[in-house]
């Protein structure tokens, strides 16, 4: 199925929103809960499929839903369709700070692999499925990289990444990346997991026991602040169960809590 041709505009800097402009009859698919606002005349419906293969029966739809369960996402994908006259707008945003990355799949050979929580929305006609990495070791030790989402089609897709996004072009090259810092990559890139060689670095380096090895020729997108890293930092600095807390800078942090009344 050929993807619908949609127009878009991205607003903001650190908390971005992408607004999709739909002609009558056009549809955009999105992760459940990603919509921010929309014009009257847009109808939305949650379905167990992406709509890329309308001939799929109930079993095919249930299989797709089961695959999405493995990625930790909702089993439903929401379809937003312009059923009115004239152009209509619907907007989407991710739930944490970062950037929205527009990608034209047609320019990358029709396929993109991305982290399981990176997909935000796409033109209808895009197939959203999963891809297991080839090596068993990746499954046990790859962290975020074990199950990847596979986006296939010839239209626009939008990914979300945390922090700053860096786009790199590899030409028969290799790069080592923290598994959580990978957003997505194109065909021609081989993905493997390698263990950190130094035992001391493994336990005290703070970089984890394993790194992702990306090799070949193609495009990769990297993020500076994976959500898992952000969540870990928040938990580290959250109030403890007993009510006390550790601020950034013990003296000023304690003084600030005293002035804020936290100790009363």
Average pLDDT over residues 192-200: 67
Q: What is the pLDDT of residues 36-67, one digit of tens each?
A: 999 999 999 988 778 776 655 555 555 555 55
Percent of the chain with pLDDT strictly greater than 90: 46
Segment 138-157 shows an average pLDDT of 72
Residue 178 pLDDT level (bands cut at 50, 70, 90): confident
Question: What mean pLDDT, rounded, does the chain reach?
Answer: 79
The DSSP line for 56-117 is --HHHHHHHHHHHHHTTS-S-EEEEEE-SSS-EEEEEE-SSSEEEEEEEGGGGTTEEEEETT
Least confident of 133-137, 187-191, 195-199: 133-137
- Does the global pTM surpass 0.85? no
Domains of the chain: 7-231 (3.60.160.10)
pLDDT band at 30 (very low <50, low <70, confident <90, very high): very high
Q: Is the pLDDT of residue 145 over 50?
A: no
- Give the mean pLDDT of 185-195: 87
């Amino acid at each position: 199925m050929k993807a619908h041709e949609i127009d878009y505009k991205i607003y903001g800097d650190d908390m971005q929103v992408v607004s999709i402009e739909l002609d009558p009859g056009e549809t955009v698919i999105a992760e459940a809960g990603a919509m921010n606002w929309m014009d009257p005349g847009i109808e939305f419906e949650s379905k167990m499929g992406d709509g890329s293969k309308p001939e799929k029966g109930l079993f095919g739809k249930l299989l797709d839903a089961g695959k999405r369960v493995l990625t930790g996402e909702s089993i439903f994908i929401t379809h937003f369709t312009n059923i009115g006259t004239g152009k209509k707008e619907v907007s989407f945003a991710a739930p944490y700070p970062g950037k929205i990355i527009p990608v034209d799949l047609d320019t990358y050979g029709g396929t993109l692999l991305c982290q399981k929580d990176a997909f935000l929305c796409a033109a209808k006609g895009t197939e959203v499925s999963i891809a297991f990495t080839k090596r068993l070791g990746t499954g046990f030790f790859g962290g975020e990289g074990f199950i990847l989402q596979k986006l296939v089609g010839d239209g626009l897709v939008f990914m979300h990444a945390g922090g700053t996004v860096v786009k790199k072009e590899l030409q028969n090259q290799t790069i080592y990346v923290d598994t959580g810092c990978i957003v997505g990559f194109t065909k021609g890139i081989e993905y493997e997991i390698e263990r950190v060689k130094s035992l001391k670095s493994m336990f005290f380096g703070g970089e984890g026991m394993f790194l992702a090895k990306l090799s070949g020729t193609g495009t990769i997108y990297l993020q500076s602040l994976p959500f898992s890293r952000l969540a870990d930092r928040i938990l580290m600095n959250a109030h403890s169960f007993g009510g006390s807390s550790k601020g950034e800078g013990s003296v000023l942090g304690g003084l600030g809590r005293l002035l804020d009344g936290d100790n009363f």
